[in-house]
Amino acid sequence: MTHKGSCHCGRIAFEVEGDLTQAIECNCSHCSRKGYLLWFVPRESLRLATPESALATYLFNKHVIKHHFCPACGCAPFGFGTDPAGKAMAAVNVRCLEGVAPATLKIMPFDGRSR
């Protein structure tokens, strides 16, 4: 299934392919403050509809995940990184996807605070 997503103002738009049934709720300082619900997909499953130059990037902790956000509205729809095997991944904030009701998803807690 293809899901469309964007930041709040629409400056950053994207599509992501995949079967969305669950999301991860991480308790690290960054994710918990932003209220992220993350869906991890292979990086090639996410296609930007706007230029990559429109993205601002935030790095923290070990600097291994590029947390992208809109410099105009501040909304953070996704990040890019790698899984433990080195495969390129996208972490999509499901709250930024059109027509997705988080209450319909299985929410998996993740203890990022201890890492």
- Whole-number pLDDT of residue 65: 86
Res. 114 pLDDT band, cuts 50 70 90: confident
pTM over 0.95, yes/no? no
Kindly report the three-state secondary structure assignment for every residue of the chain: CEEEEECCCCCCEEEEECCCCEEEEECCHHHHHHCCCEEEEEHHHEEECCCHHHCEEECCCCCCCEEEECCCCCCCCEEEEECCCCCEEEEEEHHHECCCCHHHCEEEEECCCCC
Question: At residue 10, does pLDDT exceed 90?
Answer: yes
Q: Is residue 60 included in any domain, yes or no? A: yes
Q: Quick: pLDDT tens for 33-73.
A: 999 999 999 999 999 999 989 999 999 877 778 999 999 99
Q: Specify if 26 maps to a domain.
A: yes
Take residue 26 and report the two structure tokens written for it.
């991480």
Q: Mean pLDDT in the chain? A: 94
**CATH, residue 43:** 2.170.150.70
Look at residue 12 and tell me if it is in a domain: yes
Q: How many domains does the chain have?
A: 1
Is residue 115, in this structure, part of any structural domain at all?
Answer: no
Beta bridge partners of 66: 80
The string of pLDDT tens digits covering residues 95-104 is 999 999 999 9
Per-residue pLDDT band at 115 (split at 50, 70, 90): confident
Q: With 80 as the cut, is the pLDDT of residue 112 above it?
A: yes
Q: How many alpha carbons lie under 13 Å from residue 106 in its C-beta half-sphere?
A: 5
